[in-house]
Structure 1
């Protein structure tokens, strides 16, 4: 087998200093380019200034806006410590994305509520993701997109 690999390697026409076009490397390159596109659309929609964790927490609050959400819910949902969540929420409050409101049954508890700015941030973030998705999907035919998703899902399932 080693002899077969050596013979096969010798038949290659690539210069020796070029790395092989292996699947993980190509996926990483494409991932980097897609993230650049996400960042471009985020800038265009005015949502590049927040951290990913802010975005995830805002998305969580948006999905649960009809329920009372407290700091402990964020701690549990994202598996992060109380002190870390406290710092994140304080910064989000200073940026105007959330408010902490007292609840009548327990003055110690503060309900987390998205502000209008937080809702706008969420909607602009989602818009950025949709724009990126539409842009990337538009680079391939419908059949190619279907096949790419099928293959990526197959790889993901096999790598779990």
Structure 2
């Protein structure tokens, strides 16, 4: 029999209708809330229609603008198939985010280049992400932020 005044031993820690506070579930909840905040800042910055994959590719092209980037580089970088990358790049080209430029030495090869519109969208998206980071990190003290990052990195390494 349970001693309700002291709750020693036999009583369940949570009533059966309450889920346990397990780490993966809590991380998932926090992740969902962070993505809602990202979407809010994306709307405020006018980039709500940019898909995450399009932004990752625009970001890759932005940071590698001084070197030639080809479709195979995107396939390798993001571990996605040729047909998937082809479809993504065609849509990005139709939306005006990228251009495919012919390479003089090989007519079959097309260099991927970020357009001015693509670069502007990338910068707005990065602004949204910085706003989100500032908002989230502002919820904790500098010491708590450092500890959270340390623990998240430890979890990431252990789960690899």
20-29 or 33-42: bigger deviation: 20-29
SS of 2:11 mapped into structure 1: helix
Q: 1:141 to 1:117 in 2, by over 3 A?
A: same
Structure 2: distance between partners of 1:17 and 1:87: 46
Residue 62 of structure 1 aligns with which residue?
62
Once residues 73 and 154 of structure 1 are traced to their aligned partners in structure 2, the CA distance between those partners, rounded to angstroms, is 30
Residue 120 to residue 146, structure 1, CA distance change in 2 (3 Å) = same
**Alignment of structure 1 residues 74-153 onto 2, 5 Å:** 74-153=74-153
Distance in 2 separating the partners of 1:76 and 1:94: 23
Instruction: Report the CA distance shift for 1:9/1:135 in structure 2 as closer, same or farther (over 3 A).
Output: farther
When residues 11 and 89 of structure 1 are mapped into structure 2, their CA distance, relative to the original with a 3 A threshold, is closer
Query: What is the total number of aligned residue pairs between the two structures?
Result: 153
- Describe the superposition over 1:91-120 as per-residue Cα deviations: whole angstroms up to 9, x where unpaired: 000111001111222222221110001101
Q: Which runs of 5+ in 1 are unaligned?
A: 1-6
Q: Which runs of 5+ in 2 are unaligned?
A: 1-7
Deviation at 1:9? 5.7
Q: CA-to-partner distance for each residue in 1:2-49, whole Å, 9 max, x for gaps?
A: xxxxx646163x433111222221111111101110111111112221
Give the Å deviation of 1:87. 1.0
Of Structure 1 and Structure 2, which has the larger fraction of its residues in helix?
Answer: 1
Q: Aligned equivalents of 1:158 and 1:73: distance in 2?
A: 29
Question: Which residue pairs with 1:4 in the alignment?
Answer: none
Consecutive aligned runs of 4 or more in structure 1 exceeding 3 Å deviation: none
Paired with 2:158 and 2:79, the residues of 1 have a C-alpha distance of 26
> Secondary structure in 2 aligned to 1:111?
strand
Residue 52 of structure 1 aligns with which residue? 52
Question: What is the root-mean-square deviation in Å for CA atoms of aligned residues?
Answer: 1.6
What SS is found at the alignment partner of 1:139? coil
